[in-house]
Structure 1
Amino acid sequence: MALIHHRRSLGDLWWRKSAGRIAFGLVAFVIITVLLKVSLRSPSEPLIAGNSPLVELTLLQDAESKGAVCLDGSPPAYHIQRGYGSGSKNWLLHIEGGGWCNTMASCGARKMTILGSSTLMQPVVFSGILSGSPSENPYFFNWNRVKLRYCDGASFAGDVEHEVKDGSKLFFRGLKIWQEIMNELLSKGLAVAQKALLSGCSAGGLATFLHCDDFQSLLPKDATVKCLADGGFFLNEKDISGKSTMLTFYHEVVTLQDVAKVLPNGCTSRKKPSQCFFPESIIESIRTPLFIVNPAYDFWQIQNVLAPDSADPSHEWDKCKRSIDSCTGAQIKVLQEFRNKLLTALNELPKSKSRGLFVNSCFAHCQTWIGSTWHSADSPRLSNKTIAEAVGDWYFDREEVKLIDCPYSCNPTCHNANLL
């Protein structure tokens, strides 16, 4: 019962609405809920293993003097575990997710959480793609592993020079945060990396798309540098009421935080900046080898892009968008159409052997930073590969990897979230 009470209290915090808007920004609750469900589903692999050490928080040095600060003005932060042996000169960076904020009110509320202030952040356990366990993370366990904490509300892309005041003080400095954390990590050994992988989950996946080529440009020319985005391929699609809810939301994020200057020039010269904040527009210009992990039934997108509360006043989708097993036949048809739109968008991207795909038929969101979905005995599989094995084959050039699952409910290995 204590676990259930904890989940409800988190829900009260993360799912707040402001001025009738959908609570896009604070996605952490649903991710935490999935972790709780996974821990119940797989008792042999607890959420926090007893022998997994906490990784301390490292605050960015001289952040305030460089203008690289979180929404509340506190210094940004990261966690790092040093590599050893054959991985001592290899680096894996993972950007934390957590949605976005689109108004002064939502950003003001956000700055009082771990997604807007480093003063509230705590040490973490590294799991999944960040794990130091060879059995859980067979290809990257002994690399230098870094988790970048997310506290700017615009996927490390905001770039407003002055402080924004509207009853409170806010800083939109995501781009500076990215630049200064990179500078610090370069000084700690990233500058001489032999192999490197930039990864991210959700809004961190979008940040990975945005900064992938820049990341490669910072490293030695002979280094193997690649990028991995998990649960970050957000679709520019209309919701079930016919409104472009996600496009409108992104327009507000881009305008408020002056994101346009970070977006690809080739896109902004042809489209509105808000359209260029979608991955399908960003990827057109990415030159660095790229891997996309995405569920075909991304529950965050189903809840916020396809069937947001504003598009469903009668609440007919409430159960379906929290548990795919509760969907009606008619709702499953809509979800299959949504899956088809994802596959169409992916198919229209520039073709390249250096690009990999792992699109499973799971009702999930981020899957790489959770041990049980990244690489375990009962992990989701495509062609009998876990996500970790597929990524490993792609990263080390063992084979071309483009895996797309059949429609729901064909894959019995899925860890389908139950958020009811």
Structure 2
Amino acid sequence: MCKKHDRPLELFCKADQICVCQFCTESGHKRHHIVSLKDEYEEKKAKLRMTEAKIQQMIHERQLKIQELKHSEELSEKDTDRELADSVQVFSNITQFVEESLAQLIDLFERKRKTTEKRAEGFIKEVEMEISELMKRSSELVQLSSTEDHLYFLQSFPSLNTVPPTKDWTEVRVHSSYEGTLRRAVAQLEETLSKEMKKLFEAELKRVQQYAVNVTLNPETAYPKLILSGDGKRVTHGDVRQNLPDNAKRFTSCCGVLGNQSFSSERFYYEVQVKGKTDWTLGVARESINRKGEIKVCPRNGYWTVWLRNGNVYHANTSPPVCLSLKSKPQKVGVFVDYEEGLVSFYDVDAADLIFSFTGCKFTEKLYPYFSPCVNDGGRNSAPLIISPAHNTYLTNELIF
């Protein structure tokens, strides 16, 4: 009941969100939007059902998220166990080889020492025998010198007046040559470690290829002289600047283009063919990068990249840049990012070798794949950058955020 008019509260004021009676609408709520109590009830009840449905949907989504997180945790535990087992096996193999190499080295030294001792003993016996012969001759000479028998003296003189045959011991030395022994052993150990590292990189590459994603080029970000294929998988540099709209996303002076896909969690991997090129830049860039004017592609400016220049000069674009010494010229480059770990790694796919890794990165916003085919250079660098599928049986993930 309305306390002021002692009338039933049959109406609802939309403006003040209160229940009113008929007389109230003629006084304090005269110009307000008034509806029947039943209509307002039905309307709010419908909204309540929608809110309830939304809450149930949110509960369901979070229950699914819990299942997803538990599944991720299980996978992470399995990955950790596998990585740990692999690591233990590798270090066990290395430890075993080092121990075997050391044992072989010790055995070699022992055998050389015994050989030296045997040679020394042989030389000593020879010298002792010569001393014995010389002492005998000396005794005979003393006796001959003291004789008064002229005939005996003259008959014995020719045979006793000569020095017994002996060896020239002036240059004889007893020593073992160990020069190069340790170096050869360490070189062999290094070769074995290199083979183990090769196996590790091959296994690592296969693991990161599990996170391969479908990446395409975003034409809205492309520098106006870049030519993109219709499927968004290849980019080349043209000599003519195209008349394209200058939007906020487009590079205006830097010869670059971003991928359509952005990533703000988890891990992702993609491969780019660089065959036939003398210059290129690849990596990832954060969403807020400056795209206008000249740009230095370094982590401080939001770029994590490596590049090739002049056909044989490779750099990791850190601050300052790091010159890379590669065993072979990559024909296909794999780019792997672990967002949570702050890791960006580059691989020579064909050689299954690590090119470079940025570690300890702090990502706080979306990351985009970054590509630069660099200038055409009169046709010397006309080959395209081609985003190619990662050939791996585990290629099942397509993480797009």
- What is the TM-score when the length of structure 1 is the normalising length? 0.18
- Structure showing greater radius of gyration is 2
- What is the TM-score when the length of structure 2 is the normalising length? 0.19
